[in-house]
């Protein structure tokens, strides 16, 4: 099975100079989608599988996963029908998670043979992923806020063992807190504890000036130009992700702070712009850290970053 993340759901096969469309294949059962995702959860989402069909307080969670990068739980729900409420179900499950933290930690410890404590979990980064062959425009619009802790993914399979998995990206700058949503106070309860981080959050957190914002924007454009890249703001940095994060960025008063996700001894850095941080605690991923100033040679910085990017091929 090949996994392809596409923006366009129409696929073609090339035969010489001719192309022919590939027919989509309907998933017969919701369980078929669930089985496929659970067996490939690490590859598709870089999430550790914890348990299938978890029942807590009269609710059944399709798949429970754990994101080791953010130290947070991820609830995954699969849908074939198109009449469910994303908002109602999503916030209900997150409320369930936040009100039964000990039970979720116990499930993790019993099902993974690894041990975590309640305080090890960053509950503010909890989220729900919905996976469905399609969504209505109403469902897409209902979660089109900058700070909803949900992700909508459309899944389709095609002949020739091809799979497409496409995320519906939020485009609004509006906050869910500015909208009247009547769900028994659940939305307000969850919003108090769960935080969806944005680039603007980091600009405000570090009081970033226009010069450094422009430097970040320029470097961001060059990084995202490498290929299909996800920009993922976290609590302490902004990650740039291919399969996993290959470079992370934070801000200082007069510079950017970068972490390159390569193990010690794997970065070719003849100018010695980076430093080895493998033996010290640090934010970001990888064993190399460097500072980027407005006058830093960005071509050379991209030479370093590109090594980490290519390491994920």
DSSP state letters, 11-53? -EEEETTEEEEPPEE--S-HHHHHHHHHHTHHHHHS-EEEEEE
Mean pLDDT of 103-121: 97
pLDDT tens digits, 1-51: 333 334 445 788 898 899 999 888 999 899 999 999 999 999 999 999 999
Mean pLDDT of 222-226: 97
In this prediction, residue 183 has a pLDDT band, given cuts at 50, 70 and 90, of low
Q: Which of 169, 224, 235 is nearest to 198 (CA)?
A: 235
In this prediction, residue 118 has a pLDDT band, given cuts at 50, 70 and 90, of very high
pLDDT tens digits, 69-79: 999 999 999 99
pLDDT tens digits, 204-213: 999 999 999 9
Q: What domains lie within the chain, and their CATH numbers?
A: 2-193 (3.40.1350.10), 199-310 (3.30.1460)
pLDDT at 181: 57
**d(Cα 309, Cα 244) in Å, to the nearest integer?**
9
CB 179 within 8 A of CB 18: no
Q: Is 130 exposed, middle or buried (0-12, 13-18, 19+ CB in 10 A)?
A: buried
pLDDT at 2: 38
Phi-psi category of residue 204: left, alpha or beta, with phi > 0 → left and psi -120 to 50 → alpha:
alpha
Percent of the chain clearing pLDDT 90 (strictly above): 74
Mean pLDDT of 110-130: 96
């Amino acid at each position: 099975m090949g996994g392809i993340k596409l923006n366009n759901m129409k696929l073609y096969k090339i035969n010489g100079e001719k192309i022919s469309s590939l027919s989509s294949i309907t998933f017969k059962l919701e369980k078929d989608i669930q089985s496929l995702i659970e067996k490939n959860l690490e590859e598709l989402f870089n999430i550790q599988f914890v348990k299938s069909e978890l029942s807590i307080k009269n609710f059944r969670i399709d798949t429970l996963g754990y994101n080791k990068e953010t130290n947070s739980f991820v609830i995954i729900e699969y849908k074939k029908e198109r009449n469910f409420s994303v908002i109602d179900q999503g916030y209900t499950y997150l409320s369930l998670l936040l009100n039964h933290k000990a039970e979720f930690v116990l499930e993790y410890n019993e099902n993974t043979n690894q041990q975590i404590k309640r305080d090890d979990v960053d509950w503010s980064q909890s989220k729900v992923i919905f996976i469905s062959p399609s969504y209505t425009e109403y469902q897409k619009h209902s979660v089109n806020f900058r700070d909803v802790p949900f992700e909508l993914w459309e899944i389709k399979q095609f002949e020739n063992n091809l799979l497409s998995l496409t995320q519906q990206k939020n485009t609004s700058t509006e906050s869910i807190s500015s909208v009247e949503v009547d769900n028994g106070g659940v939305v307000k309860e969850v919003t108090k504890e769960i935080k969806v981080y944005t680039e603007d959050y980091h600009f405000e957190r570090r009081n970033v000036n226009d010069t450094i914002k422009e430097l970040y924007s320029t470097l961001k454009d060059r990084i995202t130009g490498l290929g299909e890249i996800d920009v993922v703001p976290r609590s302490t940095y902004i990650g740039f992700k291919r399969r996993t994060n290959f470079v992370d960025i934070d801000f200082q008063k007069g510079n950017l702070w970068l972490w390159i996700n390569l193990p010690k001894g794997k970065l070719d850095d003849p100018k010695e712009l980076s430093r080895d941080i493998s033996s010290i605690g640090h934010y970001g991923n990888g064993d190399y850290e460097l500072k980027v100033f407005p006058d830093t040679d960005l071509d050379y910085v991209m030479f370093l970053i590109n090594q980490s990017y290519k390491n994920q091929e």
